[in-house]
């Protein structure tokens, strides 16, 4: 498998993070520290970094300030959300659930949902994606 690296962005100009290879080590505490030190964290209500991206799967680390909302949207794949710090309110048309540190939630694709952070919250979002051919 060819190793794939991230494309540099203004937030992360080094562009040297391996995002896809046979084996990818992800230092989550280091990524949390990194996204909380970036200007986007201080200038808005959130920040995120993609830590793994390949055909069929994407893993994104997301940090939200208290009160931040990810407005109603749908995903084109199955999602898994694992809270690492804080608490979230996860809403769908059929109900809502509070998810706190150490808890996970899975949701099938195409289900409309929104997320609100009760506290400063960090979570891992895993998303299945279409395989590119």
Q: How many domains does the chain have?
A: 1
Per residue in 74-115, pLDDT (tens digit) is 999 999 999 999 999 999 999 999 999 999 999 999 999 999
Average pLDDT of the chain, as a whole number: 89
Q: Is the residue at 31 inside a domain?
A: yes
CATH of residue 18: 2.60.120.10
CA 102 remoteness from chain centre? 15
Query: What would the mean pLDDT of 108-130 be, rounded to a whole number?
Result: 95
In a domain, 133, yes or no: no
Q: Are 60 and 48 in contact (CB under 8 A)?
A: yes
Tell which residue, 5, 63, 4, has the closest CA to residue 29: 63
Domain that holds residue 31: 4-128
The residues, ordered by sequence, that sit 6+ positions from 90 with a Cβ below 8 Å of its Cβ are: 81, 96, 97, 98, 99, 105, 113, 114, 115
How far apart are alpha carbons 122 and 61 in whole angstroms? 7
């Amino acid at each position: 498998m060819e190793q794939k690296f991230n494309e540099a962005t203004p937030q992360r100009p080094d562009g040297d993070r391996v995002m896809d290879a046979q084996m990818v080590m992800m230092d989550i505490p280091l990524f949390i520290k990194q996204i909380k030190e970036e200007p986007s964290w201080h200038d808005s209500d959130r920040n995120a970094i993609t830590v793994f991206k390949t055909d069929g799967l994407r893993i994104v680390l997301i940090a939200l300030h208290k009160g931040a909302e990810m407005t109603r949207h749908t995903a084109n794949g199955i999602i898994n959300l694992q809270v690492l710090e804080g608490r979230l309110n996860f809403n769908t048309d059929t109900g809502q659930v509070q998810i706190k540190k150490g808890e996970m939630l899975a949701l099938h694709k195409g289900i409309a949902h929104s997320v609100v952070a009760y506290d400063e919250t960090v979570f891992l979002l895993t998303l299945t994606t279409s395989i590119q051919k």
